[in-house]
Structure 1
Amino acid sequence: MEVLLTVEGLEKSFKEKKILKGISFEVRKGEIMSILGPNGAGKSTTIRNIMGIMYPDAGSITFHHHTGKEIPRNKIGYLPEERGLYKNVNVMDILLYLAELKDYPADKAKERALHYLKKFDLEGKEKVNVEELSKGMGQKVQFISSIIHEPELLILDEPFSGLDPVSQELFKEEIRSLADGGTAILLSSHQMNLVEEMCDRLFMIQRGQKVIYGTLDEVKKEYANFKCTIHGKNSYQDLEGIEGVQRVEQKEEVSILYLEKDIEPALWIKNIPNNIHIQELKLNRISLHEIFIDIATDRNLLKEASELHA
């Protein structure tokens, strides 16, 4: 796939504190690329540098073969984490105004606005002031404002925050539809289940440095060993003694067995002794949520992250 955005060796400091330490990644046409990390890791600083809200101390950002102040920002859509639409302006006026700032034709903007208002169950809200909308409705309007000008790169910072499950599904469907249509999407979210469900590749930073970069399958294979969850009353010692078990976590009658690297699940399961009480058993890879928690809290209980390059 064609690379639309390249971030290379990005560094940024505020006073004496270095926030970004040589960040590098790519975002390709038609993919959903997730940028992950705990609060303070450098995600927002990275996004602000891409948007031209600030500029790096070192490194480069290239979009459509343009760098720095030459980047065509009108081809980029941005949904910030902190929502900020003018509250005393009606919905249609604010959408048309934001489209005009992106040099997008007014007639096409109005057509797209009406299309998306209907799609997001906001039909008839064109003349309603933003301050009269519910939080969820306001978020839908802000999302529409980020895509109304048909951006080639769409940056979404916590797009699912505060949405009910129905609205989350609408957003997920539209984000995937945009990617299928060729839009490059850079998605930042703390909702790991949604990231795991949607993303094609991911880039995770901790303390301003890359710790994971690759496709979800690559990350799972290289970082996430298998785990076995057993429901049943069993002793810690019996479970710990099973061949191939790296460590055991227990809570009441649920035991999680974290397996060693390169375990073959179909072969390993034959090692479970007959005396182990099993009401229910599930064998799968460690989730992206667990990987995130392990890195964010410096627990280092999982395998050291490999250098992954998709």
Structure 2
Amino acid sequence: MAEGVLEIDRISKRYGSTVALQDMAFTVRAGELFGFVGSNGAGKTTTMRIVLGVLAADSGEVRWGGQPVGFETRRRIGYMPEERGLYPKMKVLDQLVYLAELHGMPANQALRSAETWVARLGLRDRRDDEVQKLSLGNQQRVQLAAALVHEPEVLVLDEPFSGLDPVAVDVMSEVLREQAAAGVPVVFSSHQLDLVERLCHRIGIVRNGQMVACGTVDDLRTGGGTRLVVDVPNARPGWTDGLPGVTVVSVDGTRSVLELAAGGDDQAVLNAALATGPVREFSRHQPSLTELFRNVVTQESGDKAV
């Protein structure tokens, strides 16, 4: 792989008889926003902790720029844990300077960087407050600043949008776009799938500790069948019976959503609809990431991962 690529190469992790990860594999390219989604307990946080060295994988390898990730490499990663990783009684600015210095920044540079991120994330008026006195949303902003203050080469963020109001979500989104535009690989997990769909270049869906779907939203849509929306006010129930490769997904009054199998003939569906009388709507339905995710996770079987 080329320099600037984060590679998670078939990492596995067990806790006794419980499989947390099984051959988890994906890459995050330089300048890419990669959304990492899955149900609670699917293995997202475990993966991120292994990338950071907080946990050790039973097998597999994490590489950055083609080299195994070690201590020095991890100092160049910006990490934002889902749970608060801040010192509650330490002041905001002092804490950011301290964390930057821990990552090897000289004191003057650390102070300049901390001041920059305090201002960028709307925390200038809270710079001398203890973290524990901040709202949860502002604590989340400080957590992001802590991940960015040492000018990381990779960003790994676990639920960065949790607890943020809409204005803060916009600020966070813009910061992540800026980082990607500067060439930083960014991987983040989130349950806000509309936000993931809007922000990310590629998305990985995790189920039971395995990557079960990965690609752009268009790629993921291509992997499923075609859906048609048909509104036929005079049709009787069962009007699609006998149409090969057609499954009724849902019916709402006179409006039906139909699944057309690969290679199915949408013109046959249209002809059947016209045979019932007037057709008020006949269109292809583009599933959202939420629908794609639901389709994947509802195929789940067996034990859940942690």
**TM-score bracket, shorter-length normalisation:** 0.7 to 0.9
Alignment of 1:216-231 (within 5 A): 216-223=217-224, 225-228=226-229, 230=231
Give the aligned partner of residue 47 of structure 1: 48
Kindly state the Cα deviation for residue 263 of structure 1 after the two structures are TM-superposed: 5.9
Is 1:275 the counterpart of 2:300? The answer is no
Asked whether the 8 Å contact 2:273–2:279 carries over to 1, the reply is: no
Give the aligned partner of residue 56 of structure 1: 57
Give the aligned partner of residue 249 of structure 1: 250
Distance in 2 of aligned mates of 1:269 and 1:67: 55
**CA 1:119–1:265: 2 relative to 1, 3 Å:** farther
Alignment of 1:127-166 (within 5 A): 127-166=128-167
Give the aligned partner of residue 22 of structure 1: 23
The residue type equivalent to 1:93 in the other structure is D
Kindly state the Cα deviation for residue 245 of structure 1 after the two structures are TM-superposed: 3.6
Distance in 2 of aligned mates of 1:30 and 1:9: 23
The residue type equivalent to 1:213 in the other structure is C
**CA 1:42–1:97: 2 relative to 1, 3 Å:** same
Distance in 2 of aligned mates of 1:67 and 1:152: 15
Kindly state the Cα deviation for residue 68 of structure 1 after the two structures are TM-superposed: 5.0
Q: Which moved more, 1:169-178 or 1:288-297?
A: 288-297
Aligned length: 299
Distance in 2 of aligned mates of 1:267 and 1:242: 8
Counterpart of 1:223 in 2: which secondary structure? coil
Asked whether the 8 Å contact 2:11–2:61 carries over to 1, the reply is: yes
Distance in 1 of aligned mates of 2:171 and 2:230: 33
Gaps in structure 1 of 5+ consecutive residues: 301-310
Give the aligned partner of residue 284 of structure 1: 285
Asked whether the 8 Å contact 1:41–1:207 carries over to 2, the reply is: yes
Q: Which of the pair has the greater relative contact order for Cα pairs under 8 Å at 6+ separation?
A: 2
Give the aligned partner of residue 173 of structure 2: 172
Distance in 2 of aligned mates of 1:270 and 1:3: 53
Q: Can you list the C-alpha shifts for 1:178-227, whole angstroms capped at 9, x where unaligned?
A: 10110100111111111111111122221122211223322221236334
Distance in 1 of aligned mates of 2:168 and 2:230: 32
Kindly state the Cα deviation for residue 104 of structure 1 after the two structures are TM-superposed: 1.8
Is 1:297 the counterpart of 2:305? The answer is no
Is 1:126 the counterpart of 2:133? The answer is no
Q: Can you list the C-alpha shifts for 1:93-124, whole angstroms capped at 9, x where unaligned?
A: 11111111111233223223222222222222
Q: Which moved more, 1:265-274 or 1:34-43?
A: 265-274
Asked whether the 8 Å contact 1:154–1:183 carries over to 2, the reply is: yes
Distance in 1 of aligned mates of 2:41 and 2:152: 28
Distance in 2 of aligned mates of 1:232 and 1:105: 72
Distance in 1 of aligned mates of 2:119 and 2:225: 42
**CA 1:264–1:239: 2 relative to 1, 3 Å:** closer
Kindly state the Cα deviation for residue 297 of structure 1 after the two structures are TM-superposed: 2.4
Identity within the alignment, %: 33
Kindly state the Cα deviation for residue 12 of structure 1 after the two structures are TM-superposed: 0.9
Gaps in structure 2 of 5+ consecutive residues: 302-306
Asked whether the 8 Å contact 1:202–1:214 carries over to 2, the reply is: yes
Q: Which moved more, 1:63-72 or 1:238-247?
A: 238-247
Give the aligned partner of residue 308 of structure 1: none
Is 1:114 the counterpart of 2:115? The answer is yes
Distance in 2 of aligned mates of 1:38 and 1:216: 18
Q: Can you list the C-alpha shifts for 1:239-258, whole angstroms capped at 9, x where unaligned?
A: 66777642231245654333
Distance in 1 of aligned mates of 2:241 and 2:288: 21
**CA 1:93–1:248: 2 relative to 1, 3 Å:** same
Kindly state the Cα deviation for residue 230 of structure 1 after the two structures are TM-superposed: 4.6
Cα RMSD of the aligned pairs, angstroms, is: 2.8
Q: Which moved more, 1:136-145 or 1:224-233?
A: 224-233
